[in-house]
Chains A and B, each alone.
Chain A
Amino acid sequence: MGLKQVSGGRIAGETYRTNSPDGDLMIALAGNPNTGKSTVFNSLTGLKQHTGNWPGKTVTNAQGMYIHQHQRFVLIDLPGTYSLFANSVDEEVARDFICSGEPRATVVVADATCLERNLNLVLQVMEITDHVVLCVNLLDEAKRKKIQVDLPALSKILGIPVIGTSARDGAGLDALKDAVYQVAMGEIQTAPLKIRYGSAVEECLNLLEPAVKGIADKNVNRRWVALRLLDGDWDAEASLAQLPFFRIRKSKELSDALALADQMLLEDHLDRDSLRDHIVTCIVSQAEEITQRVLRCEKQNYNDLDRRIDSVLTSRIWGIPVMMALLGLVFWITIKGANYPSQILGTGLFWGQERLTQLFLSAGWPDWLHGVFVLGMYRTLAWVISVMLPPMAIFFPLFTLLEDLGYLPRIAFNLDNYFKKACAHGKQALTMCMGFGCNAAGVISCRIIDSPRERLISIITNNYAPCNGRFPTLIALATVFIAGELGSHQSVIASLIILAAIVTGVIITLIVSKLLSKTILKGIPSSFALELPPYRKPQIGRIIVRSLYDRTLFVLARAIIVAVPAGMITWVFANIHVGDLSILQHGANLLGPFGRLLGLDGFILMAFILGLPANEIVIPILVMSYMSAGQMIELDNLQALRELFLANGWTWLTAVCTMLFCLNHYPCGTTLMTIKKETQSIKWTLITFAITTATGIILCFAVAQSVRLLGLV
């Protein structure tokens, strides 16, 4: 599904290099989604990775390097695909790269527990190139399910090296590297199995192959080129014009042969469409036959456990309640667990602030310098770290755990009909889930949706999924204003409020998707098939490392980079006076009337505006604005926050409206830039900005005015 590659939140660069330094051997890594291909990639290359985009495509290209037997290999991670018939951009990218002649060998990763389906792709790769190594991964899972794969027999049938691995424990990877080395260096001569397509097609191929010979690139299999010419794959694919062997079309000999072949096929009642069916049928049947020869299942119903789990997690009655309970539990653990470390970090960092202040005082440095550095930059930074880091460090691993277990596709399955009714794509639920981590990553993950219309809808609505930069704001407000008044069970109530915020976000996503489908993005949902992969035993160690390294540190670093200058600017705005008031107060006064209509105030709106670069800094900016306006208190815990806000005229309505506005306003700067990059359009970036902000304004206005009318405040 391609989610793994984008989930890291690393924003892909524009290009990637195909030309490696002399002597490096390029190896392509292909495979179905959910086969542990990324695990194989990560295990082979470690941290020596580079992510970018395929030239001219919004498809992630990851490449990494490893050394084996003193030889450097560059491993190119192709998008996960089920076939190479170029039905989608992913398949096109994978196919074009394999037949470009650049890789010295192609490794196909297959799932041992679902071998038959995976062999489909293996057979297709073997048609393009002889230099193939099959990596039968997830042998540990197969063993657990008592499935035995006869690897030597499979290797003999396919005519290529077949290596069994359990990439998660590193088992078999050395053998894989050996096989890749041998195939790439030409030490092993492979003899890939040829699929037979019946006498009529074979006759045509015999006719075409000599015509292709001498004209097609020598790295590309002539039989494969002939087959593609026959089923008319070339015509629709403009991208193929860039491939070196496309000039074959110009040959007279070939056009004649092609015309004759078309005629022969028609006599056999095979037009282009039915030929395509015929070709796929032959491949699938071949895969089926091979599987029957090499697979032994001791237990007939080896998937029984998965089915039983699914019958609860996706059941009509329990599916949605269990989903809510799981999410609620994740938030409860996050809130409860973050509490204590947040306090320690807060205490430590504010102790540091006092020391810094003493230093500035004893050095006799001017007040404004102390203000800019300590009260502006340092304090914002301290807040961001103490409030952001602990929940992130707990939330991200938990979320990655759900992802690793294979639960996210079940969420998409559970909610699918709602998305269908909203005329949205079924995979939009998956992109929404990614948005909970980081909206920029969520927007990138929309690449898994092929249809441009539905992809735009998911991109525009992704921001309604509160990201990790906004959870701390929601948690803080929910804890001090709503749960705080209820005394005990604070974290339980806060979790429920966050859960309610998420449900609100999902409902708004559905409504806005529907509205978009009926107005500027008219259309009906395109066809889709969602795979519910087998549940996998999670790799706890790997989850912690990857979620901390890829996600937590990435998001935190970004927040820090933004927080420091934003803290400085806010302090300057709050302390430079024009007339009687500071610039910040002028702004707040200007925005005040509008803010109050929405149940907010001018300072809150100012904080959201200054917080455009990153949502994490909204609360710190707000705190600084309020504090510079007079009250100087020690702000090292949430209780102090509550007092500060109360002193500035907050009620529970202010908290609710601030949370609503936090949930529904323009995406942060990084996300906006990502939207611009992914849609290649300033127009859609601005539309996203306008729609999300309008949602917030309308909602806050409606809530604030209703509550006031009813006299509830």
Chain B
Amino acid sequence: MFDNLSFNSNLCIVFEPQNILEMADIAEKVKSIIVEKLGVEASEVTPEASFTNDLGADSLDTVELIMEFEKEFNVSIPDDQAENIQTVGQAITYLEENAK
């Protein structure tokens, strides 16, 4: 009986609507984190924009951004993959593929 209950509750969690992030939501959240942490205008946060070259981030800002993405989207981004996230678009794509 208890096994059945836990099976059912697991099912509920999997299909909880708020646990499914829409792709548009991910892009918006990524942008708002970048605006908040780097103090830039939302209009500057285009998919092509590079954190360091276009948005004024230094190496510590970049580390902080990755940590914020991890926190917000409940993912763990390994260092070798974090190195490849240099632009807004790369962050969005990575999180769309990996966010839980």
Q: Indicate, yes or no, whether A interacts with B.
A: no
B contacts, CB < 8 Å to A: none
Task: Enumerate chain A interface residues (CB-CB to B < 8 A).
Answer: none
